[in-house]
Amino acid sequence: MKLLFLDTETTGLGVNDRIIQISYSFDEKIFTEFINPGIEIPPDSSCIHGITYEDIKSAPFFKDSKSYTFLQNINDFVVVGHNIQFDLEMLYKEGIKASKYIDTLQITRHFYPELKQYKLQYLRYYFPLKTKETIIPHSSEGDVIVLKLLFNKLYEKNQNIEKLIELSKTPALMKYIPFGKYKGLEFQEVLKKDKRYFAWMERTFGDKNMIYTISYLKTKFS
């Protein structure tokens, strides 16, 4: 199977936000393109990726871009990304729908459940993932470089692409609570001393890994 490593930068995280930069790689080449989203980029997004509307106002709209033309053939590839569901949702808004994907964030959760966080740049330094290429964090091109290194690290543990596709869709057990007053503590520890907080998390958050973890621990310790 051919792999397409992909990352996007966007105007934000909401339903009305759009792509402003896209990078993808196959056959050891990386292609990067700026996109005019047709809407303003808020400062709280620019302070992360460093892109302002002035930087991209002369860039093509997505449907006029080279990326749009190329990605018409996206189903010739297995798309690889970190938290790839977000990127695929952004592409879907532009009329691009991928059928097969590998999520390195979800795979890392399965293979390394002991980690306290799974952000791409954290994993870059945790493993570490070394390259001679210059990496600009939170640029789509820099993230694709790190993404490929991370995938290679994960692929060493399981070289079955179909299995990696399956695991990308499968909930993983979480060891540590990622937010709130118990941030950094183990789920199992909190369940024993504060069942009401557990119940609140279960009602409030729709994260599939969290729901799976809570259900598993409740069954195990009931």
Domains of the chain by residue range = 3-168, 171-222
The better pLDDT of the pair 19, 138 is held by: 19
> Strands of 29-34's sheet, edge to edge?
29-34, 19-26, 3-10, 78-81, 101-103
In this predicted model, what pLDDT tens digit does every residue of 94-136 receive, in sequence order?
Answer: 999 999 999 999 999 999 999 989 999 999 999 999 988 888 8
Q: What is the pLDDT at residue 218?
A: 84
In this predicted model, what pLDDT tens digit does every residue of 145-189 receive, in sequence order?
Answer: 999 999 999 999 999 999 999 999 999 999 999 888 999 999 999
What is the distance between the alpha carbons of residues 10 and 53, in angstroms, rounded to a whole number? 11
| CATH, domain range 3-168 | 3.30.420.10
What is the distance between the alpha carbons of residues 40 and 214, in angstroms, rounded to a whole number? 39
Any residues with CB less than 8 A from the CB of 187 and at least 6 apart, and which?
174, 175, 176, 177, 198, 213, 214, 217
> 3-class SS at 77?
coil
Q: What is the pTM of this model?
A: 0.93
Tell me which residue has tokens 């994907």.
101
Strand runs labelled E in 46-198: 78-81, 101-103
